[in-house]
A = this chain, B = another copy of it.
Amino acid sequence: MTVAVVGTGLVGTSVALAAVRGGFEVRAWDADPATLAIAAAHDGVTGCDDLAQAVAGSSLVIVATPIAAIPAVVAETLAAAPDAVVTDAGSIKGHVVAGAWSSATSRGLSLERFVPSHPMGGSERSGPAHASAALIDGIVWAVTPTAVSTDAAITRLEAFITAVGARPVRLTPERHDRLVAMVSHLPQVASTALMSLAATEEADEPDILLLAAGGFRDLTRLAASSPGLWSEILLANRDEVIRAIDLYVGRLRRLRDEVGARSGEGVERIFREAKGARLGLTAKPQVRAGVAVLQVPIPDRPGGLAAVTIGLAEAGVNIEDLQIVHSPEGGRGLVHLTVAADAADGAASVLASHDLDPVRLA
């Protein structure tokens, strides 16, 4: 089976490499010859001279161009590859579907073979030089069929996603955009607004950031993300982002009102609900069923963390997540390690045998 990738940036090239690894024949094209050359330098990826040549005879075409270009490229692909299922990799779906709809219908094309999707991997890096099949491993890949996408087309895309090592999750484009507004776009906005506020306050209170400890740092880490990229994403998902901010402001006001009313019980109730939900979240969806968190104090000096990681590596325990807490404030680090639940007891004994003092938190 032949697949084609159009747009060989980080995501497109990573999908191409995962497809090669999965045994597919892979053709690729990019509007920029230099970008295409990097992708086509990989074994198994055939660079093509133009879009028509790349998609001709393909069973599946993945359009991984910048979001603004997707609708036109999808329409062109549907016309050039009459037997292919076509998908895209844009991070907002409603926008893409509406654009593809008008591009395709103006050319008299049906969208039955178009199944929009969103591989939810990503990386802070960009460009094909940093691409890797490993970027696709285990990620959630949202599949967001239009009203006219056929079952056969959806099934072909989902089989491909599974074959390259990712996990298809089917949603409507509208639900996708609503959910990412809540779990991706709103956290970004919440973080940026907090950092922006503290920076303004700092002009009056130069000591403010001196007191900023672990919690503040956790909450503002996202605020270092790319302004240009995020501006584009928030505007493309405008209505859902506004809805999410309004709901968030409402929730903040509820907490504010409980504090204002001096209702310890009301504040505690909201905190208890949130705590319960947070403890239900775990490092990776694929291990959500069972993880444990170990808290381990470590000395804040060269090698302090190595004692933890070496011990676990020797014992064959994978670290699903690791957080350093509290070291910002002092000469002592406290590490939270997330490991698979069935590895927790073994991990704790290994750490104890390295003179560490792990405590199981969850």
Contact = CB atoms under 8 A, between A and B. Distances in A.
Interface stretch (A56-64, A72-80, A261-269): A261-269
Interface in A20-52: none
A327 B284 contact: yes
A295 B124 contact: yes
Contacts of A297: 132
A230 B271 contact: yes
A302 B316 contact: yes
A321 B300 CA distance: 10
Interface string A314-330: 01111111111111111
B135 A247 contact: no
* Copies of this chain, count: 2
Nearest to A195: B274
Residue from the set A132, A189, A320 with the largest chain B CB neighbour count within 10 Å: A189
A211 to B, nearest CB: 5
Contact of A224 (B192, B275, B317, B331): B275
A123 interface: yes
Contact of A306 (B209, B228, B313): B313
A227 B263 CA distance: 13
Interface stretch (A4-12, A102-110, A147-155, A232-240): A232-240
B138 A331 contact: yes
A6 to B, nearest CB: 23
B260 A242 contact: yes
B283 A122 contact: no
Interface of A: 120-125, 132, 134-140, 142, 165, 169, 171, 175, 178-180, 182-184, 186-199, 201-202, 205, 207-213, 215-228, 230-232, 234-235, 238, 241-242, 245-249, 251-256, 259-260, 262, 264-265, 267-281, 283-285, 295, 297, 299-306, 308-310, 312-313, 315-332, 334, 359, 361
30 contacts: A121-B329, A124-B361, A125-B295, A134-B331, A138-B330, A183-B208, A183-B212, A186-B194, A187-B216, A187-B220, A189-B255, A192-B270, A193-B274, A195-B278, A199-B274, A209-B281, A223-B271, A223-B275, A226-B271, A231-B267, A234-B267, A235-B262, A241-B259, A242-B259, A249-B256, A283-B328, A302-B319, A304-B318, A309-B309, A323-B324
